[in-house]
Structure 1
Amino acid sequence: MTDEELRDELLRRMRVDQAMRDPAKGFPGDRRLARLQRFDEGNTAWLYSVVATRGWPLVSQVGERAARAAWLLAQHATSIEAQRLFREVMAEAVERDEASPRDLAYLEDRVRVRSGRLQLYGTQFHDGVDGLEPMPIEEPELLDERRAAVGLEPFAAYEAFIRKTGDLGTADGR
């Protein structure tokens, strides 16, 4: 697969992913959730095969939009083991300025929350007693410092956005 073919396929998969998660469609019912699960499983397997054969899709290979599309597929990976691998290879790409540290922060938090650990960047929310609430955060007193280091806005602004819109999808590329 050429870099151009990979770019085109990443962008195509991102378009379908976002269309399937369109908040205007309302909360998905069982049938749509099952279809989404199958779609995510297919994307997980496909991205895993790309990473196994080519490594993480780098900005210099596929461009910023397609590199972000790879991250989006990693965010929605159905296998925690695959998601951990994606985080690891994406972190190596970030070190070489070939992927977004901001996107990696979201993936780091997603993997941590799915693993029963505290998140570092405060990107993951859930439905709580008083509406959307952040999942537990490690060392909250250092949160804004960690967020700034990866290019994220202060947590208070992010939390206000999440609470105002009620749309986790807009915030994490869902």
Structure 2
Amino acid sequence: MARRHEALIQQNGPGTDTVLRDQLLAMKQQDQEARGFRAGSTGLQGQIATNLASIDQDLTDQLKQIFYAKGWPTIRLVGIDASNAAMLILTHTPDHAWQRSILPQLETLADSGKIDGSTLALVVDKELVATGQLQRYGSQFKFVNGAMAMYAVEDPASLDQRRAQVLLPPMDVYRDMLEHIYHLKASNQIVSATPPAAK
């Protein structure tokens, strides 16, 4: 993973738009602090903001403005950290219709090495879970009875193989990471995603 990270930097450079880079990194910090993560910490340190939905909507609006003005923030444009920050904001967006509409473009960018495919995998899973489908990469969990339970995945037998293709760690390593971050056990329970209510 570290080698792939360095290869993407070598391929794309450090980014050319430093103002946009700084904006995206500040947006990431706001997103993480709203979720109880503090800069420099490796785990959950604070409380989740009571106005989290409002913060996510505001960050989504900012990301849309960036997207429609300059396109998706690629590594070449803003550097890998800020490009991944944009993907983090997209992962948490409440606007699943917009998220879904730009996935084909993002998959093309990932396939050509212009963005980090491992961060896109989280968005793919988030969208699948939001629409009540099986997730693909096993990145999405739900808090159940004081522990974290994984949402059901398609073809569980080849899950680690799919994760490796997008440079995500094996599931046992990922579960350990989640436990360290959230200070909760990652159980073996599997939960089903709930399809959205019909309007």
Give the TM-score range, shorter chain. 0.7 to 0.9
**Are the equivalent residues in 1 in contact too, given 2:34–2:55 (CA < 8 A)?**
no
Which among 121, 140, 165 is matched to residue 156 of structure 2?
A: 140
Aligned pair count?
162
The higher-RCO structure (CA 8 Å, 6+ apart) is 2
The one-letter code of the counterpart of 2:119 is D
Compute the displacement of 1:39 (Å).
Answer: 1.4
Compute the displacement of 1:162 (Å).
Answer: 2.5
3-state SS of 1:24 partner: coil
The one-letter code of the counterpart of 2:55 is F
1:63-90 alpha-carbon deviations (Å, 9 max, x no partner): 0111011011101111111221343332
* Partner Cα separation in structure 1 for residue 83 and residue 163 of structure 2: 21
User: Does residue 107 of structure 1 match 2:123?
Assistant: yes
* Partner Cα separation in structure 1 for residue 172 and residue 23 of structure 2: 36
Which among 92, 99, 115 is matched to residue 108 of structure 2?
A: 92
Q: Give runs of aligned pairs for residues 1-174 of structure 1, distance below 5 A.
A: 3-22=17-36, 23-26=44-47, 28=48, 32-33=49-50, 35-129=51-145, 131-163=147-179, 165-166=181-182
- For structure 2, the residue ranges without an aligned partner over 5 or more in a row are 1-15, 37-43, 185-199
* Partner Cα separation in structure 1 for residue 92 and residue 53 of structure 2: 9
* Partner Cα separation in structure 1 for residue 145 and residue 30 of structure 2: 33
For normalisation by structure 2, the TM-score amounts to 0.74
**Are the equivalent residues in 2 in contact too, given 1:55–1:89 (CA < 8 A)?**
no
**Are the equivalent residues in 2 in contact too, given 1:131–1:163 (CA < 8 A)?**
no
The one-letter code of the counterpart of 1:106 is L
